[in-house]
Amino acid sequence: MKFGKEFKQQKVPEWTDAYVDYNGLKRILHKVRQFRQRQRPPTPMRISQQLSLYKPFSGLDVKSSPEETKNDVEDQVIAVETVQNGDSREVYNTNFLPSTNEGEESEVTFFEKLDEELNKVNTFYRDKVEEVIEEAASLNKQMNALIALRIKVKQPDIKKCHILRKVSTDSSSTESSKSDSPNREDTLESRHVGSKIDVEGIDDAYRNGVNPDNNESDPLDVLDRVRINNTLESPMSTIRSVLNDSKDKDLRFKKEELKEAEGQLKVAFVEFYRKLHLLKHYSYVNLLAFSKILKKYEKIALRRAARSYMKTVDDSYIGSSDEVTLLLDRVESTFSKYFANSNRREGMKVLRPKRKREKHRVTFFSGFFSGCSIALLIAIILLIQARKVTTRKEHSMYIDNVFPLYSLYAYIILHMLMYAANIYFWKHCRINYSFIFGFNQGTELSYQDVFLFSTGLAVLTLGTFLVHVHMKVDSVNAVYSKYTELVPLGLLIVFVAIFLCPFNILYKSSRLFLMRSLFHCICAPLYKVQFADFFLADQLTSQVQAMRCLEFYICYYGMRWYTKEEKCHHLDLYNFFYIIMAVIPYWIRFLQCVRRLFEEKDWVHLVNGSRYFLTIVAVVVRTVFELKMKKSWKVLALVSSVAAILFNTYWDIAIDWGLLQRKSNNMFLRNKLAVSHKYVYFVVMVLDIVLRLAWLQLVVKFNIRALKGTVISALFSSLEIFRRGVWMFFRLENEHLNNVGKYRAFKSVPLPFSYYEEDENEKKDE
């Protein structure tokens, strides 16, 4: 694989603009090559290469000979100057030494571009290193509070004087241990005071009664300045904050409190380590890119410049800084000691989870289940046509009852197939969907996994439906009639069992993630709203018909004396919940918008919440008109539906997708696009409008009873799922590009402790 493609694959997607513009530099070198080819034919070069084989052998010595050094000095074509800017940061400027004529203009442009990229990379890397150093200082304070809390929880009756008595006897040993520290670490500590994670030995010092930070103060004094952060991520914390109007709470020195703090700090260290690892990789690949592009320049321009310029690159901040490497070592040792019982192997398993490997059996079974699904679908169609199930009166009622029982699984499978297709296109367009959703590293599903799971469920559903139809139509034995009606119920039980399976099979981590997000949606607004939560709630708005199928299951099997769909619709209680089922997803989104409005104080969430409230009104009015069939409701249903459709369509295109921007380089689009073909966006915008308007057929159609059939309802529901699947891709694309614009490649992790004295000082300063 060429380095250009490898370099592109190794980039952090959110930091793409901060990397060396390798392709831009290659384009400039292409102009240099074209000029060289016009000026110098390749034949003399080949002759000079052949003559070089007859020169005296220079030996295998590592040190360069004086003659080589002299030639290097004579052949130098660049001189790199280092200038200090206003922020006391180095800015590099390269002077091209040969006299510039028409041929060398491209080479001058090349080095100007190279300086620009080096300055850009250095600035970005320095800013990120300063951020991680500040975060390391914050984690230092968190670890000090955690260690003190551990001591207090394990020894509740410990006294300060017991520690202070041993300070005088052990202070000399503490000072001597400090004086033996390596010079490299002392240099780093002097440059960044209080910013290194060096909590090794603190726990041992506490057990010996020694305070390593200040010999005159007690190590447990930190607990007098610390409170537990109320992160508002659970229902109880949210309710407590509303009732007490307090963000933080005092320490109670309980084991549950210690366990929760350890869990939060463990997650914070894992995310911090990942950030350090990506920064180190960022430095490595950019240095390699500079080396590769300079070798290309020497090969094309036949000039020596790589050694002198690479010396400048190595002496720059990105080439000489070692803060990230030191922090990586300290985080590994700290995490292994305090969160893995000093077991480095177990600690590194958590810090560096293994990447998922693509398995050939996933591809094989995906194809196998796909073929089985097609064969079963053809068999069902042939059986229905051969037995004329849809035309016979004795079977018409059976079809009306069995269709909603099995269409539930069709909606779910179709949604999963759309999700698998989106994952494929997200990866193709380098959209970091795993980071946006908040998946743990190594647990995200690939499109092959989702496709395998969906086709497996399709085989299970179609096979059960084929057996059910055969037992109902072809069976002449009355014994089977007792068990025929239980087949769909058994299928539902199998689906629920697969979803709730506690064993580590069938993608357990992904199922747990889905269950947790679904529970957060149900409990809205008590949980803090994450992207995955409101994204799932948006998906549920397209599964209204599936939720109504669940209601029909309850009516069909819960009330034995009502065994037909028409009789279910004659029940007022059933019709009431028929409306409630359609309202639930929109109501969840409305509550999530209210929660985000109070937390973020952004009025855009109020507008978004009003959009869902208007949709709730439109759904209720339209459903009442569908059930009661009164003309007085038709005008209300039409007006409310049109208003909701226009509002939602504009929001989809302008807000969720970020399109229809006036001041943009791409007309009616965004400045940045993940899809290279612009016409795709215009096709999708038109498609979204058409599919939104499709639901008006339920109101506009005069003979509404003709559209009340289960097939027509399933068709419109499938179109809505397809529309939501298309919306899914562009919604995540817009979110990804927003992260790219802010270089946001890491999730914010809440910390367990807060130093309230410092918070008060900050408020006074403000």
- What value does the mean pLDDT of the chain take? 80
The better pLDDT of the pair 62, 12 is held by 12
Helix (H, G, I), strand (E, B) or coil at 300: helix
- Tell me: do 417 and 445 sit in the same domain: yes
Question: Which residue among 333, 352, 371 closes a domain?
Answer: 352
Give backbone dihedrals phi and psi of 19, rounded to 5 degrees, phi first.
Answer: -85, 165
Note the pLDDT of residue 62: 52
Closest to 28 in 3D by CA, of 92, 102, 111: 111
- Tell me: do 344 and 395 sit in the same domain: no
Note the pLDDT of residue 221: 78
637 falls in which pLDDT band (50, 70, 90)?
confident
On whether residue 482 sits in a domain, the answer given is yes
CA 700-703-704 angle, 5° bins: 70
| Cis ω for the linkage preceding 41 (within 30 of 0) | no
Tokens of 252: 């109670």
Residue linked to tokens 């559209």: 707
On whether residue 624 sits in a domain, the answer given is no
Helix (H, G, I), strand (E, B) or coil at 442: coil
Where b means 16+ CB within 10 Å and e means fewer, 367-392 reads eebbebbeebeeebeebbeebebeee
Note the pLDDT of residue 57: 62
Note the pLDDT of residue 211: 44
Report H helices in 601-706. 604-628, 632-650, 679-693, 697-700
How do strand 753-755 and strand 90-96 relate by DSSP bridges? unpaired
Note the pLDDT of residue 79: 76
- Tell me: do 385 and 474 sit in the same domain: yes
Name every residue whose Cβ is closer than 8 Å to that of residue 701 and which is 6 or more positions away in sequence. 707
Instruction: Say if CB 590 and CB 609 are below 8 A apart.
Output: yes
Question: Which residue among 507, 532, 549 closes a domain?
Answer: 507
Query: What DSSP line would sit under 496-561, residue for residue?
Result: HHHHT--SS-SSHHHHHHHHHHHHHHHTTTSS---HHHHHHHHHHTT-HHHHHHHHHHHHHHH-TT
Note the pLDDT of residue 291: 92
Percent of the chain with pLDDT over 90: 38
Note the pLDDT of residue 442: 79
Query: What DSSP line would sit under 374-423, residue for residue?
Result: HHHHHHHHHHHHHHTTTT-HHHHHHHHHHHHHHHHHHHHHHHHHHHHHHH
Amino acid at 636: L
- Tell me: do 374 and 338 sit in the same domain: no
Amino acid at 212: P
- Tell me: do 344 and 440 sit in the same domain: no
Which range is least confidently modeled, 206-220, 358-372, 688-702?
206-220
On whether residue 519 sits in a domain, the answer given is no
pLDDT by residue (tens digit) across 382-398?
A: 988 887 776 666 666 67
Closest to 713 in 3D by CA, of 417, 390, 404: 404
Where does 85-125 show beta strands of DSSP type E?
90-96
- Tell me: do 183 and 303 sit in the same domain: yes
Tokens of 326: 């030191």
CA distances from 416 to 14, 437, 454 (A): 27, 16, 6
Note the pLDDT of residue 596: 92
CA 276: distance to chain centroid? Answer: 18
Instruction: Identify the domain containing residue 424 by its residue range.
Output: 357-507
Note the pLDDT of residue 202: 39
Helix (H) or strand (E) holding 78: strand 78-84
On whether residue 755 sits in a domain, the answer given is no
- Asked if pLDDT for residue 47 goes beyond 60, the answer is no
On whether residue 147 sits in a domain, the answer given is yes
Q: In whole angstroms, what is the distance from residue 472 CA to residue 290 CA?
A: 72
- Tell me: do 158 and 177 sit in the same domain: yes
pLDDT by residue (tens digit) across 561-581?
A: 444 445 677 778 888 888 999
Instruction: Say if CB 125 and CB 15 are below 8 A apart.
Output: no
Which range is least confidently modeled, 48-57, 78-87, 470-479, 727-736?
48-57
On whether residue 239 sits in a domain, the answer given is yes
Note the pLDDT of residue 232: 64
Which range is least confidently modeled, 157-171, 288-302, 486-500, 597-611?
157-171
Helix (H, G, I), strand (E, B) or coil at 208: coil
On whether residue 336 sits in a domain, the answer given is yes
Q: In whole angstroms, what is the distance from residue 211 CA to residue 261 CA?
A: 22
Note the pLDDT of residue 683: 95
How do strand 248-249 and strand 753-755 relate by DSSP bridges? unpaired
Residue linked to tokens 């000093």: 342
- Tell me: do 316 and 449 sit in the same domain: no
Question: Which residue among 480, 507, 534 closes a domain?
Answer: 507
- Tell me: do 304 and 162 sit in the same domain: yes
Residue linked to tokens 């510039």: 100
- Tell me: do 403 and 447 sit in the same domain: yes
Instruction: Say if CB 446 and CB 423 are below 8 A apart.
Output: yes
Count Cβ atoms within 10 A of the Cβ of residue 252 and give its class: 0-12 exposed, 13-18 middle, 19 or more buried.
Answer: exposed
On whether residue 667 sits in a domain, the answer given is no
Closest to 686 in 3D by CA, of 660, 712, 666, 721: 660
pLDDT by residue (tens digit) across 507-564?
A: 999 999 999 999 999 998 888 899 999 999 999 999 999 999 998 888 888 765 444 4
Closest to 666 in 3D by CA, of 688, 684, 683, 681: 681
- Tell me: do 260 and 371 sit in the same domain: no
Neighbour tally for 551: CB within 10 Å: 16
- Tell me: do 276 and 364 sit in the same domain: no
- Average pLDDT over every residue of 44-65: 55
pLDDT by residue (tens digit) across 413-441?
A: 999 999 999 999 999 999 999 999 988 87
- Asked if pLDDT for residue 66 goes beyond 70, the answer is no
CA distances from 132 to 90, 330, 395, 410, 648 (A): 21, 13, 69, 48, 41
Percent of the chain with pLDDT over 70: 76
CA distances from 615 to 587, 604, 631, 697 (A): 9, 17, 21, 17
Q: In whole angstroms, what is the distance from residue 681 CA to residue 50 CA?
A: 56
The better pLDDT of the pair 79, 13 is held by 13
Closest to 193 in 3D by CA, of 134, 276, 146, 124: 134
- Asked if pLDDT for residue 721 goes beyond 80, the answer is yes
Neighbour tally for 157: CB within 10 Å: 6
Note the pLDDT of residue 208: 43
Q: How far apart are the first and last CA of the chain?
A: 55
Query: How many structural domains are present in the chain?
Result: 2
Name every residue whose Cβ is closer than 8 Å to that of residue 663 and which is 6 or more positions away in sequence. none
